[in-house]
Amino acid sequence: MTSEEKILWQKLRSRKLNGYKFKRQYSIGPYVVDFYCSSIKLAIEIDGGVHDTGTAKDYDKNRDEFIKSLGINTIRFSNEDIRRNLDEVIKRIQEVK
């Protein structure tokens, strides 16, 4: 895990966030998401600089479309969001139902 993933994992693990059980590095079809909660069908992705390239953007778009076709929502945050606005990140996750 990246340092930003570790930071967020400390807030998600052991049902710390509204009692939801999150799993990390969870496989959905041919893809792996950073975090996943099955009870609210939510995938969370933490994007670093590598996600800014054209190839990575296409891959992420295809992955998001596939995951959405299964009825799963994906929410994305940048590494900077985690480092600078962790409280806002947690708030946005809590708003997903």
Q: What is the pLDDT of residues 27-72, one digit of tens each?
A: 999 999 999 999 999 999 998 766 556 677 888 899 999 999 999 9
* Residue 1 pLDDT level (bands cut at 50, 70, 90): confident
Q: How many domains does the structure of the chain reveal?
A: 1
- Strand intervals (E) in 29-65: 31-37, 42-47
Residues 6+ apart with CB under 8 A from 34: 5, 24, 25, 43, 44, 45, 46
Whether 26 maps to a domain, the answer reads: yes
The parent domain of residue 66 ranges over 3-32+45-95
Entry pTM: 0.90
User: Token match 């909660």: residue?
Assistant: 37
CA distance 24 to 22: 7
Residue 37 lies in a domain: no
Question: And the tokens for 34?
Answer: 């950073």
In a domain, 74, yes or no: yes
